[in-house]
């Protein structure tokens, strides 16, 4: 996934974000998610997005539904823990890259690595949580 200015894209999705919304294409579906201070609500295709978002200390936490499936996320300077698509990520920050295993990995697979660009820190907690869920889902 790449995050540049107001665009977020990968092979599977092309999205445009602002502090109020995230819109674009995900595969053959459209995504339209609205942000408030404590929520992200909308749809990804036919699947609902209904996230409750809160900040505890330096951690952003999100819980609810994402594309019609249950999710949980905790993002902090020291770790990234995510439950999405029946898989749990437990990644620790190692010099700017979050590294670790997923519960659904096989023993011989490499660790998962997630690099967070500097511009990401300027986003609202709702934007951060939603973009992380897109990238890991």
Predicted pLDDT at 24: 95
In sequence order, what DSSP letters do the residues of 84-124 get, joined into one string? ETTEEEEEEEETTEEEEEETT--TTSPPEEEE--GGGGGS-
pTM: 0.91
- Give me the percent of the chain exceeding a pLDDT of 70: 100
* Interval 66-121: pLDDT, tens: 999 999 999 999 999 999 999 999 999 998 899 998 888 777 788 899 998 888 88
Predicted pLDDT at 104: 85
Beta bridge partners of 30: 25
DSSP conformation class of 61: E
DSSP conformation class of 11: S
Helix (H/G/I), strand (E/B), else coil: 128: helix
């Amino acid at each position: 996934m790449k995050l540049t200015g107001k665009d977020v894209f990968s092979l599977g999705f092309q999205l445009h974000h602002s502090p109020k919304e995230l819109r674009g294409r995900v595969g053959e579906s459209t995504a339209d998610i609205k942000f408030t201070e404590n929520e992200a609500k909308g749809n990804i295709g036919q699947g609902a997005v209904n996230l409750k978002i809160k900040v505890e200390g330096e951690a952003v936490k999100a819980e609810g539904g994402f594309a019609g499936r249950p999710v949980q996320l905790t993002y902090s300077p020291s770790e990234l823990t995510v439950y999405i698509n029946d898989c749990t990520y437990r990644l620790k920050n190692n010099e700017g890259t979050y590294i670790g295993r997923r519960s659904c990995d096989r023993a011989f697979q490499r660790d998962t690595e997630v690099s967070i660009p500097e511009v990401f820190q300027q986003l609202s907690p709702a934007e951060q949580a939603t973009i992380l869920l897109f990238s890991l889902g």
